[in-house]
């Protein structure tokens, strides 16, 4: 970890916090999800750098040590597409592999769709290719207490999270979301109430890890994170041709609660997903949860590096 270098890079008027390790022409850019940050990729960054790749992970705008945009409530996923492409430009990188987890999968695929000349390949974990729009996540097919639906209500998550310090919020979410059941609250509950204080952290997530996450979210808060992804997921960004022709790999944990979203498993397994991403390999990890890259880092690293090596030689 001590060999990971940190700096800020200005992109579209905002200073983005960038972590980097390794050197050379083969570049891998890692895109985090929620409640994650650049640090979520600590295992993967070191592993790919040791194999000769230049590994870059950054905090999305509004997250961690990156600047906050002036009007978070007007955010769209187009902002993330522009930030990644702008970061590549600022670092003089022509093409890169994109690795995205959770909502970080969306800009990874979308950049490959609209800027194919910048992408060598795409790896996503825990979420397949989903286009932003009104049908991206069907809240109407789940109970009212579905966490996404709850967090989309302005002020509700703020009040829920505000009862706790930042470290407790991260602890609660990591513990709840590492289970195989979709977090759904009862009518008289909030999402944070689902957490049992006697439940320990997952074995693969240490108190030190928690402290790092907390220190970064204490800086940024959750204002932007509640917009992207949750409250702006339904905003169509007008991509007319969403097909991704780049080689791609999807890694899903069989125990990831996202597999229980209505229609999700069928979308992944039926071949519908491959109509959007024809050159896609899908790997299911039997014991994998929603944080499979942290839970099973050696296995995730092996799968990612195998993909990178294969498509570096054909690029």
What integer is the mean pLDDT of 162-177?
A: 97
Could you tell me how far CA 280 lies from the centroid of its own chain? 19
% of the chain beyond a pLDDT of 90: 95
Q: Which residue has the tokens 């994998």?
A: 288
Residue 1, pLDDT above cutoff 70 = no
What pTM did the predictor assign?
Answer: 0.97
What integer is the mean pLDDT of 86-99?
A: 98
Q: Indicate if 290 belongs to the active site.
A: yes
Based on the structure, what is the number of domains in the chain?
1
Catalytic residue of the set 67, 79, 83, 102: 102
Measure the CA–CA gap between 176 and 172, rounded to whole angstroms. 6
* pLDDT tens-digit series, residues 11-44: 999 999 999 999 989 999 999 999 999 999 999 9
Backbone dihedral region for residue 124 (phi beyond 0: left; psi -120 to 50: alpha; all else: beta): beta
- CA-closest candidate to residue 4, choices 18, 16, 14, 19: 19
What integer is the mean pLDDT of 140-162?
A: 96
Q: Indicate if 230 belongs to the active site.
A: yes
* pLDDT tens-digit series, residues 177-191: 999 999 999 999 999
Catalytic residue of the set 17, 32, 290, 311: 290
Measure the CA–CA gap between 248 and 283, rounded to whole angstroms. 11
Contact 281, 250 (CB under 8 A): yes
What CATH number is associated with residue 269? 3.40.50.1820
Distance separating the N- and C-terminal Cα atoms of the chain:
30
Read off the pLDDT band of 315 (50, 70, 90). low
Catalytic residue of the set 53, 147, 174, 230: 230
**What is the model's pLDDT at position 314?**
58
Q: Residue by residue, what is the 3-state secondary structure of the chain?
A: CCCCEEEEEEECCEEEEEEEECCCCCEEEEECCCCCCHHHHHHHHHHHHHCCCEEEEECCCCCCCCCCCCCHHHCCHHHHHHHHHHHHHHCCCCCEEEEEEHHHHHHHHHHHHHCHHHEEEEEEECCCCCCCCCCCCCHHHCCCCEHHHHHCCCCHHHHHHCCCCHHHHHHHHHHHHCCCCCCECCCCCCHHHHCCCCCCCCCCCCHHHHHHHHHHHHHHCCHHHHHHHHHCCCCCCCCCCCCCCCCEEEEEECCCHHHHCCCHHHHHHCCHHHHHCCCEEEEEECCCCCCHHHHCHHHHHHHHHHHHHHHHCCC
Domain range for 204 is 5-311
Measure the CA–CA gap between 98 and 111, rounded to whole angstroms. 9
**Farthest-apart Cα atoms in the chain, separation:** 56
Residue 220, pLDDT above cutoff 90 = yes
What integer is the mean pLDDT of 208-224?
A: 97
């Amino acid at each position: 970890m001590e060999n990971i270098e940190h700096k800020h890079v200005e992109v579209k008027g905002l200073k983005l916090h960038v972590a980097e390790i390794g050197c050379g022409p083969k570049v891998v850019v890692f895109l985090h999800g929620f409640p994650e940050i650049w640090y979520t990729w600590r295992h993967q960054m070191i592993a790919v750098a040791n194999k000769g790749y230049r590994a870059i992970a950054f905090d999305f705008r509004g997250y961690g040590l990156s600047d906050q945009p002036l009007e978070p409530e007007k955010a769209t996923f187009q902002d993330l597409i522009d930030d990644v492409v702008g970061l590549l430009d600022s670092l003089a990188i022509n093409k890169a592999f994109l690795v995205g987890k959770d909502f970080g999968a969306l800009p990874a695929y979308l950049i490959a769709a609209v800027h194919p000349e910048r992408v060598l390949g795409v790896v996503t974990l825990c979420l397949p290719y989903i286009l932003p729009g009104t049908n991206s996540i069907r809240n109407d097919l789940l109970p009212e207490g579905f966490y996404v639906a709850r967090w989309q209500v302005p002020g509700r998550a703020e009040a829920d999270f505000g009862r706790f310090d930042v470290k407790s919020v991260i602890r609660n979410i990591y513990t709840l979301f590492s289970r195989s059941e979709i977090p759904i609250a009862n009518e008289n509950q909030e999402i944070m109430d689902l957490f049992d204080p006697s439940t320990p952290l997952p074995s693969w997530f240490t108190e030190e890890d928690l402290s790092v996450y907390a220190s970064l979210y204490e800086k940024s808060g959750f204002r932007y994170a509640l917009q992207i992804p949750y409250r702006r997921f339904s905003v169509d960004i007008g991509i007319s041709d969403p097909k991704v022709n780049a080689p791609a790999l999807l890694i899903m944990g069989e125990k990831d609660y996202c597999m229980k979203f209505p229609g999700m498993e069928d979308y992944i397994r039926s071949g519908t997903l491959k109509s959007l991403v024809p050159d896609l390999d899908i790997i299911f990890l039997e014991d994998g949860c929603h944080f499979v890259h942290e839970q099973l880092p050696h296995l995730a690293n092996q799968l990612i590096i195998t993909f990178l090596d294969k498509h570096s030689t054909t690029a």
